[in-house]
Amino acid sequence: MGPDRRTYDPRQYLFDPALLKNLDWGSVKGYLSPPITNEGPGESWLVVRPLQIEDFDKGYLQILTQLTAVGNVSRSDFERQYWRMQQSGGYYITVIEDTRNRKIIGAATLVTEFKFIHNCALRARLEDVVVNNTYRGKQLGKLIVLTVSLLSKKLGCYKMSLDCRDPLIPFYKSIGYKLEPGNANSMIVRFEETPRIENPS
């Protein structure tokens, strides 16, 4: 392990909130109309920020149930997983909070992966994108995806990819993602009954 270069209080946020400042919104001009950004999301009561441990009480897991099955995740399960992610590094779960009711109304996860290929590159994956159903259709989906995409660019990733259901292809195309001819398959093997090792090393 190298020296700890963290410049923020890791007890407060999953990742350094300063990373979300001055993202290159100029490079995605035209995708959002009216143009909003993570630092200027269009309403004073909207905040885009890294996940916090308090988000357990602000409905982060509830919103994920609009995406897929979450299961029975207790507070201690949540906290254990949060600290694992933070210790591991490379997890950039970003949320949108409605500060009027202190609820998480949107979220997306950027996960980065160190590679040996491409001169020891960094690669990005987009996961767990969701906007609360009562807030949809207001560009918040585009906003949260573009925020983490621009963050991956800022971190120096050479590409970012995602898996999605067919009906969402136009949504992602509208913000710059492309199906690459000959390279647009997603293949899966599922391990439904595999027991989990608690502390893999």
Ligand X SMILES: CC(C)(COP(=O)(O)OP(=O)(O)OC[C@H]1O[C@@H](n2cnc3c(N)ncnc32)[C@H](O)[C@@H]1OP(=O)(O)O)[C@@H](O)C(=O)NCCC(=O)NCCS
- Can residue 138 be called a binding residue for ligand X (CB under 6 A)? yes
Contact 14, 85 (CB under 8 A): yes
Binding mask 154-193 for ligand X (x = CB under 6 A): ----------x--xx-xx--x-------------------
Residue type, position 96, single letter: I
Least Å from the CB of residue 45 to ligand X = 16
Q: Residue 139 or residue 152: which is nearer to ligand X going by CB?
A: 139
Q: Pick the binder of ligand X from 92, 97, 141, 146 (CB under 6 A).
A: 141
Beta strands 160-161; 122-131: pairing state: parallel
Q: Pick the binder of ligand X from 71, 137, 182, 200 (CB under 6 A).
A: 137
User: What is the number of residues in the chain?
Assistant: 201
Contact 162, 195 (CB under 8 A): no
Stretch that binds ligand X, among 9-17, 79-87, 133-141, 184-192 (CB under 6 A): 133-141
Q: Residue 138 or residue 153: which is nearer to ligand X going by CB?
A: 138
What is the DSSP-derived secondary structure letter of residue 77? H
Least Å from the CB of residue 5 to ligand X = 33
Contact 137, 117 (CB under 8 A): no
CB neighbour list of residue 55: distance below 8 Å, 6 or more residues apart: 95, 104
CB neighbour list of residue 32: distance below 8 Å, 6 or more residues apart: 139, 142, 143, 146
Least Å from the CB of residue 190 to ligand X = 17
- Can residue 125 be called a binding residue for ligand X (CB under 6 A)? no
- Can residue 51 be called a binding residue for ligand X (CB under 6 A)? no
Of all helices (H) and strands (E), which one includes residue 78? helix 75-88
Q: Pick the binder of ligand X from 12, 22, 27, 66 (CB under 6 A).
A: 66
Least Å from the CB of residue 107 to ligand X = 9
Report the SS3 class of residue 97. strand
- Find where tokens 């897929």 sit: 68
| Interacting residue ranges for ligand X, rule: CB under 6 A | 66-67, 129-131, 136-142, 164, 167-168, 170-171, 174
